[in-house]
Structure 1
Amino acid sequence: MLDWDHIFATRSSRMRASEIRELLKLLERPDIISFAGGIPDPALFPDVAFSQAYAEIFSGPQVNAALQYSVSEGYKPLREWLVGEMAKFGIPCGADNIFITSGSQQALDYLGKLFLSPKDTALVTWPTYLGALQAFNAYEPNYDQLTPGGNRTPDAYRETAAKNGGAVKFAYLSADFSNPTGETVDLQGRQKLLELADELDIAVIEDAAYQHLRYDGEAVPPIMALDIARSGGIENTRTIYSGSFSKTLAPGLRVGYVVANSSIIRKLVLMKQAADLHSSTINQIAITTVAERFFEEQVAKIRAAYSARRNAMLAALARYMPVGTSWTKPEGGMFVWVTLPANLDGAELLARSIETEKVAFVPGQAFFADRSGANTLRLSFSCANEAMIEEGIQRLGRLIRNAEAKAA
């Protein structure tokens, strides 16, 4: 048999299976209560609206264009709709500042490719979105810990990167209801991050996948909005905003977008031309149709549903978690982050849970670039109803108490 390993590129050694994608297989088991997959509830998809949109495409004059090759920048009416949406968040821009991707995951891959040479440093939070680590890993970077609002000096970051053989290229974070912690960076933290980026002369990648999913609390301006306000316009910004329709309309259509200054957009368009030419034309047209007619109504519907589930999970955690266990209290998004007693391991707990309590979650270690955080785990409330949340968290509390007793 041919031994492929010796001809694979060195980057292939950094490719790992997504622990979350593997856990999604548990959703098919009816005996498992799953808090693992950070995915939207399919019962909330606007399926009727999409059915009508596709029917109109196939019965109207757009059908040939919908089935044809298209421009790499993305469907212009969709980009124009996004111009109006960005303005609501304090991000004035034009259609030429918007680039359509095949999901926001493709945007992260392109941005890693654009900025990272082997041994360069990406600043990421500890923990951070696992999909971002997977996207960036292919370009063989080092990682350093980003603490928005922290006091670490630019020189300290610069010196560490140089010792590792490269330079700091960007800071990546999800500032609102982050995956995995559900936490939000406050205004001061966002401003200090921009100051750090100025000192290091690096890009800021703002992952805004959950921007529309605020349930309570005061909204904080996006980092890009702050950047525009202080720099005088989007063409002067160092922030790159990555958004998606996956959490609001439908993830299966794989439509995401990047908002940035035009020089960044031009580079991304060249990457798109080389990779897959353009995102699905017909899906972009369908997304545009549904967004123009139903976006606000759809967002209101999912906010109401997810807010009730978040409330149910936080209440259940307060009732059933043993002393010594703590958790975040997110104002939006899909996740609660749990910190276990230091002597417990999330991965070991999951293996025991599947066998005994039949509850699935994601061990937190997967979200740390340095593979620390063994005593943490991520819970998603998006696909569980309130009765499942009550029962599942009660089982999880029992599991943790039993694990503590055995470890004592």
Structure 2
Amino acid sequence: MPEPATPPDYWNGRYAKRADGMQASEIRELLKLLARTNVTSLAGGIPDPALFPVDEFRTAQDELLSDPESAGAALQYSPTEGFEPLRRWIAARMGSLGVPCDVENIAITSGSQQALDLLGKLFIGPGDKVLTQAPTYLGALQTFNAYEASYDEFGDPLPPAGAGQARVAFAYVVPDFANPTGESLSREAREQLLALTRDLDVPLVEDAAYQALRFDGAPIPSCLALDIEAVSDIERSRVIYCGSFSKILSPGFRIGWICGAKDLVRKVVLAKQGTDLHTPTLNQMVMHRVAERAYDKQISLSIVHYRRRRDAMLAALARHMPSGVTWTEPQGGMFIWLTLPSGMDGGSLLRDALDEGIAFVPGGAFFANGGGANTIRLNFSLPSPAQIEAAVPVLARLVRRGS
């Protein structure tokens, strides 16, 4: 007698409660659509693959795998905290950005997305508050939701930490050319945020994925650098810096890092051991060689390349968008944020735009506590200037029709 078939809804009642917070990313779902249809994507924050230093990656990998000793190391298990020469390179890079630190202040992660997940695992308990910008990075909200976070937004009246109040786990910020708005925090705003975290006695998670992509204006010190100025030593800082090679060298290698106090880094390493043991060794060793040889050159190439596309999108928006539409004018990064006329819905506009072969990301998903229905995020790093020039007038026509 065969066993009875598993009912279709068998799994629904068996997940842990925290799984309720795991929702599909609108961006990832859009990318699936774009892979199989002829659509001009103004959606995902994706580097232009024409910029990838393919020859440098090929050379580095061939060098490593052609030597028996380095090949054996590259294909073997390795320490959870990461390949030490790569960590030393990152520590030196952080030093050049005003963050004196050493190799023990660095842990390698599988992209900065894993860094956010590890920090969520370490700090967020069910119902704990995370302080965020509104809007903020959707991938961070997805990660923190899985640990049952709740949210307060910067600028809201924030309750003091104490009895009867939800515990504040940490504050989270993308200070440079933020995903999704493209905006940056001024030095004064960063110092105010640091003062807030000191008053609340909570860590600040600084997501610096776009920090190197500055097109215009003077660089602003990172929150970690400013905090070290105030407290004199990274070991006394509350700031946890999350960096990434994805936007400059390659997202496919999945190499990011955490920089912070040594006690914090040791705890991150313990959390990572139970997750994936270590980031792929070959990827780390290849990335180290490519970073040594090509990182600064790639930053320069990327700035010139993406500035031209940003300028093309801003010029097209200025020529074609009707009155009542406003947008940010970022000094770097990959994104422009549009606010549509009151009453318009970004999700409805997306459905109409897809019929015309254009995709973007509706803004509502970037708000932890709701709102933003009349906003959208546009990406300028992947589409060519010609694609931007063709797509923006169509989008403007749809806005006029819907307003």
Range class of TM-score, shorter chain? over 0.9
Aligned residue number for residue 80 of structure 1: 88
Matched with 1:215 is 215
8 Å Cα contact 1:363-1:377 kept in structure 2 = yes
Q: Corresponding residue for 2:19?
A: 12
Q: In the TM superposition, what is the alpha-carbon distance from 1:107 to its structure 2 partner?
A: 0.3
Return 5+ residue gaps in structure 1 as ranges. Answer: none
Aligned twin of 1:183: 183
User: How far is 1:132 from its partner?
Assistant: 0.1
| Counterpart residue number, 2:383 | 384
What TM-score do the two structures reach when normalised by structure 1?
0.95
Q: Which amino acid aligns with 2:366?
A: F
Correspondence list, 1:100-249, <5 A: 100-147=108-155, 156-158=158-160, 166-249=166-249
Deviations 1:368-397 (A, max 9, x none): 001210000000001111110111111111
Shift of 1:138: 1.0
| CA distance in structure 1 between the partners assigned to 2:117 and 2:206 by the alignment | 14
Query: Is the aligned partner of 1:339 residue 2:339?
Result: yes
Once the two structures are TM-superposed, the CA of residue 30 in structure 1 deviates from its matched residue by 5.5
- In structure 1, the residue matched to 2:97 is 89
Amino acid at match of 2:44: G
* SS of alignment partner, residue 179 of structure 2: coil
**Residue in 1 aligned with 2:71?**
63
1:98–1:257 CA contact under 8 A, matched in 2: yes
Q: Which position in structure 2 is the counterpart of 1:23?
A: 30
Distance 1:243 1:203 in 2: 17
The number of equivalent residue pairs is 395
| Aligned equivalent of 2:394 | 395
The answer on whether the counterparts of 1:26 and 1:34 sit within 8 Å (CA) in structure 2 is no
Q: SS of 1:349's equivalent?
A: helix
Counterpart of 1:68 in 2: which secondary structure? Answer: coil
The equivalent of 1:277 in structure 2 is 277
Residue 335 of structure 1 deviates from its aligned partner by 0.1
Paired residue secondary structure (1:311): helix
The CA deviation at 1:166 is: 2.5
The aligned amino acid for 1:376 is T
Gaps of 5+ in 2: 1-5
Shift in Å at residue 28 of structure 1? Answer: 2.5
Partner of residue 3, structure 2: none
Q: Distance in 2 between the 1:315 and 1:29 partners?
A: 30
Cα deviation, residue 218, structure 1 = 1.3
Q: Where in structure 2 are the equivalents of 1:289-300 lying within 5 Å?
A: 289-300=289-300
TM superposition outliers: structure 1 runs of 4+ over 6 Å: none
Rounded Cα–Cα distance in structure 1 between residues aligned with 2:219 and 2:163? 37
> SS where residue 158 of structure 1 aligns?
coil
> 1:29 Cα deviation (Å)?
4.7
For the pair 1:252 / 2:237, whether they are aligned, the reply is no
- Counterpart in the other structure of 2:47: 40
Q: Which residue of 1 aligns with 2:326?
A: 326
Matched residue type, 1:14: G
Which AA in structure 1 matches 2:365? A
Secondary structure, aligned partner of 2:213: coil
Q: Is the 8 A contact 1:158 1:167 kept in 2?
A: no
SS in 2 for 1:243: strand
Q: Please name the residue that 1:367 is paired with.
A: 366
Residue pair 1:26, 1:360 contacting (<8 A) in 2 also: no
Name which of structure 1's ranges 19-28 and 340-349 shifts more when overlaid on structure 2: 19-28
State the alpha-carbon separation in 2 of the partners of residues 314 and 170 from structure 1. Answer: 35
SS state of the match for residue 252, structure 2? helix
CA distance in 1, matches of 2:264, 2:386: 47
Identity %: 51
- TM-superposed CA distance for 1:305, in Å, is 0.4
Residue 257 of structure 2 aligns to a residue in which SS?
strand
- Residue identity opposite 2:236 in structure 1: N
TM-score between the two structures when normalised by the length of structure 2: 0.96
Partner of residue 316, structure 1? 316
Counterpart-to-counterpart distance in 2, 1:273 and 1:354? 43
What is the one-letter code of the residue matched to 1:263? D
SS of the residue 1:257 aligns to = strand
**Helix, strand or coil: the match of 2:160?**
helix
What whole-Å deviation, never above 9, does each CA across 1:152-182 have from its counterpart, x for those lacking one?
A: 56xx3337x966x631121101000000000
* Cα distance, 1:26 vs structure 2: 3.3
- By how many angstroms is 1:31 displaced? 3.1
* 1:52 match: 59
Q: Secondary structure at the match of 1:99?
A: strand
**Aligned residue identity for 1:282:** L
Output the CA distance in 2 between the equivalents of 1:162 and 1:317.
50
Task: Tell me the C-alpha RMSD between the 2 structures.
Answer: 1.3
Whole-Å Cα distance in 2 between the matches of residues 185 and 137 of structure 1?
A: 25
User: 1-side partners of 2:351 and 2:233: how far apart?
Assistant: 51
